[in-house]
Amino acid sequence: MSRVLLQDIVMDYPVLGAYDRSLKRLLFRRALGESRVKVVRALDGVSLAAASGDRIGLQGPNGSGKSTLLRLIAGVYPPTSGARDIRGAVMPLLGLGVGVNPDFTAEDNIRLLLRIGGHAFDQAVVDEIWDFTELDERARSLPLRTFSSGMQMRVLFGAATAFPTDILLLDEWLSVVDQKFSAKAEKRLRDLVSRADVVFIASHDRDLLNRVCTRIVTLDQGRIAGVATADARGRNELNLERLQA
């Protein structure tokens, strides 16, 4: 039984200017007893509860705290105050980074990504991921940096979505895959979503959230501005998908 429970989470993001980056200056300022690093309140009193079966969409303007909230759930950022209680394995798929090391071959990158995800796997899993990418077999042993960005995305997406997890955190993952690939990607993602216990999706795409989510939380300037349940049509569609899966 997975769950995510956030209570009165406040998170201050330190804004490190050039001066704050200097140890010499820090010691000097400490000696003078000057004030501390400037902070921006990225999350302000966020309380949220999600249990098994919840698919929660996060929407809001840029800088409203969507990604920060997902990173906080993932444990990347520590909360300044408030309680965070998370049960279950968390799989964060947040930024669109370039794999583990672009100099390594595509296959090595897949393997390392799976290792980082904490999964035990064999060659069959790697082959399955490679089939999913629909890329040429010869490209497997080429360094990842020689791939076009669309090809890189396919590899990373395939590796990241290969295993189900308890708590899945997604940040704009659907909107980036190219048109031709996107139908296939969305199906795979839906499959993953349907197998995860709790899913958080941050997106600007209201239609997508309506299709996938059971609840949509609107963030504004680090606060929860509103909560809505997705309409019935969207849910039915999701249930259909789940039956297929």
Selected binder of other proteins within 86, 129, 168, 192 (CB under 8 A): 86
CA distance 224 to 204: 16
SS3 assignment, position 88:
coil
Does 71 bind other proteins (CB under 8 A)? Our answer is yes
The residue within the footprint of other proteins, chosen from 36, 38, 101, 204 (CB under 8 A), is 101
Instruction: List binders of other proteins among 181-220 (CB under 8 A).
Output: 214-215, 217
- With beta carbons less than 8 A apart as the criterion, state whether 68 and 105 touch: no
DSSP string computed for 123-191: HHHHHHHHHHHT--GGGGGSBGGGS-HHHHHHHHHHHHTSS--SEEEEES-TTTS-HHHHHHHHHHHHH
Give the nearest distance from C-beta 12 to other proteins in angstroms: 10
Whole-number minimum distance, CB 133 to other proteins, in Å? 19
Question: Which segments of 43-105 does DSSP mark as H helices, in order?
Answer: 66-74
Based on the shown chain and the rule CB under 8 A, indicate whether residue 63 belongs to the binding site for other proteins.
Answer: no
Q: Does 77 bind other proteins (CB under 8 A)?
A: yes
Q: Which range, of 93-101, 123-131, 144-152, 187-195, touches other proteins by CB under 8 A?
A: 93-101
Per CB under 8 A, 155 contacts other proteins: no
Residues 35-54 that bind other proteins (CB under 8 A): 45-49, 51-54
138 contacts other proteins (rule: CB under 8 A): no
Number of residues assigned to the chain: 245
- Find the binder of other proteins among 28, 61, 81, 146 (CB under 8 A): 81
* Contact status, residue 174 vs residue 192, Cβ threshold 8 Å: no
